[in-house]
């Protein structure tokens, strides 16, 4: 099932280590900012499943649903 998002996703930039894994898993949702930290840009373009996969694989657990 490819469910589109109705929730918002948030990255704790202070905790982010800049590994880029989330941008590889859900590139339409996450991008790296000028400080090398992940930010959520447009979660409506990736499925909830892809975003959840990025959340589950974040090595420092800094991505969360709001």
pLDDT recorded at residue 42? 81
Instruction: Measure the CA–CA gap between 5 and 48, rounded to whole angstroms.
Output: 6
Q: Residue 43: which residues within 8 A CB-CB, separation 6 or more?
A: 5, 7, 8, 9, 29, 51
Domains observed in the chain: 9-65 (3.30.70.20)
pLDDT digits (tens, 9 = 90+) for 2-31: 455 468 999 999 999 999 999 999 999 999
pLDDT digits (tens, 9 = 90+) for 53-65: 999 999 999 999 9
pLDDT recorded at residue 1? 44
Paired sense of beta strands 38-40 and 63-65, if any: unpaired
Tokens 């490819």 found at:
2
**Mean pLDDT score, 39-49:** 89
pLDDT recorded at residue 4? 55
**Cβ-contact 59, 24 below 8 angstroms:** no
What is the rounded average pLDDT for all residues in the chain?
Answer: 91
């Amino acid at each position: 099932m490819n469910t589109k998002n109705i929730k918002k996703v948030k990255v704790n930039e202070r905790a982010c280590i800049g590994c880029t894994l989330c941008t590889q898993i859900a590139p339409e949702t996450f991008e790296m900012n000028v400080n090398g930290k992940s930010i959520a840009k447009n979660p409506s373009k990736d499925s909830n499943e892809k975003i959840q996969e990025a959340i589950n694989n974040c090595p420092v657990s800094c991505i969360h649903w709001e």
